[in-house]
Amino acid sequence: MAEHDEFSLLQDNATEVGLPWAGPPPVRREAVDVGGGRRVSGLIWGPPGSSPEIVLLHGGAQNAHTWDTVALALDRPMVAIDLPGHGHSDWRDDHQYTPASNADDVAVAIRAFAPDAAMVVGMSLGGMTAFCLAQRHPEMVRKLAIVDVTPGTDHAKAEPIIAFISGPEKFASFQEILDRTIEYNPTRTESSLRRGVLHNAHELPDGSWSWRWDPNRPSRQGDQSVDFSPLWEAVDAVKVPLLLLRGALSSVVGDEDVEELKRRQPSARVIVVDGAGHSIQGDKPVELARLLDEFLASG
C-alpha cells in the first residue's frame, strides 16, 4: 500500500458526520526542536498568520489526527500536537512518556505553535499531560478541558485500553491491524477506524504493518501498572476554569473520581456525553466540538 496523503481523508471525516465540505481546510504539519535532538510535531489548523485558539492533546497510542473531525466541526485556528513517541514526534531514548515529561515537551511546542491559545484540551494520557502542563507551565493554560480521565484512573479502569496497546507490535497485513482495531473499538464505525489506522500505522518494507507510536514502554518490560494518583497534586494546582467530559459508555472515570475532582476543584464542570466511550472525539466528535466551543466562549 502506498504512503497516503495525511490530509486526503478529511473529506471522509466531514461526510461521515454530515459536516459541510467546501474544499480542503487550511491545515499543515510543523515540528519544533524540544532539545536532546528530538522534535515534536503538530497539525496547525487555520490560515497562515492566524493565531491558534485551542491546543489539542491526544491519548496514549493515538496521534494528532484523532482530532480531525472535531477540528473540522470547530472551524477555529488550533493546533493538534503529536505527543512525544507518537505520530510524527520523535521517540525518547529512555522510552519514558510520563505526563510530566510530556508536559515539558508540549510546553515548548505550545510556545512555538500557539503561545496565545485560550484553551488546552487533553484526552486520556493527553489529559494527564494537560494537568501537569497546568501545574508546571501555568502560563500556557488559560482554560482546561479534560476528556475521560482523572488521576483516579487505574489499571482496572483502563484494562481494555491496556489490552489493546499491549498487543502485537507487527501485523502481517493492513487488514490484520484493522481487524484488531475494530475488535477493541466496538463503539466506532469501521470507516473511522480505517482512517485512524492509516494515520496511526505505517507499512514496512516487507509488506507488514506496525504502529507509529513507540512500543518500548515500561509495560513491555512487565510493568502493567497504571497509577496516576500522585497527580492529584497537579489537579490541586489548576487555577483556571476546568471542564471534565466523561464518556457515558466508558469505565475509565468512576463516580468516585468525579467526587474527588470536585472536592479539589469545586468550580469544575462535569459533563457526561451520551453514546460515547473513552474516545469521545471518535464516538461523538460533533457533540464534543459543540461542548468545547461553549466552554471556550463561557466566562
Asked about 124 being catalytic, the answer comes back as: yes
- Tell me how far apart the alpha carbons of residues 220 and 9 are, in angstroms, rounded to a whole number: 32
Query: In 3D, which of 184, 195, 183 has the Cα closest to residue 69?
Result: 195
Contact of 118 with 143, CB cutoff 8 Å: yes
Widest pairwise Cα distance in the chain: 55
Cell of 120: 488546552
- Tell me how far apart the alpha carbons of residues 126 and 133 are, in angstroms, rounded to a whole number: 10
The end-to-end CA distance of the chain, in Å, is 49
Query: In 3D, which of 273, 267, 276 has the Cα closest to residue 298?
Result: 267
- Tell me how far apart the alpha carbons of residues 66 and 188 are, in angstroms, rounded to a whole number: 12
Contacts 24+ apart (CB under 8 A), 227-233: 227/154, 227/155, 228/99, 228/128, 228/149, 228/150, 228/151, 228/152, 228/153, 228/154, 229/151, 229/152, 229/154, 230/151, 231/99, 231/128, 231/131, 231/132, 231/151, 232/151, 232/152, 232/260, 232/264, 233/135
Asked about 278 being catalytic, the answer comes back as: yes
Query: Which candidate in 41, 89, 124, 250 is catalytic?
Result: 124
Q: Give me the residue label for grid cell 497527580.
A: 231
Element (H, E) at 175: helix 174-184
Query: Which candidate in 192, 278, 279, 283 is catalytic?
Result: 278
Contact of 151 with 232, CB cutoff 8 Å: yes
Query: Which candidate in 68, 82, 148, 283 is catalytic?
Result: 148
Cell of 84: 512525544
Contact of 130 with 146, CB cutoff 8 Å: yes
- The set of catalytic residues is 124, 148, 278
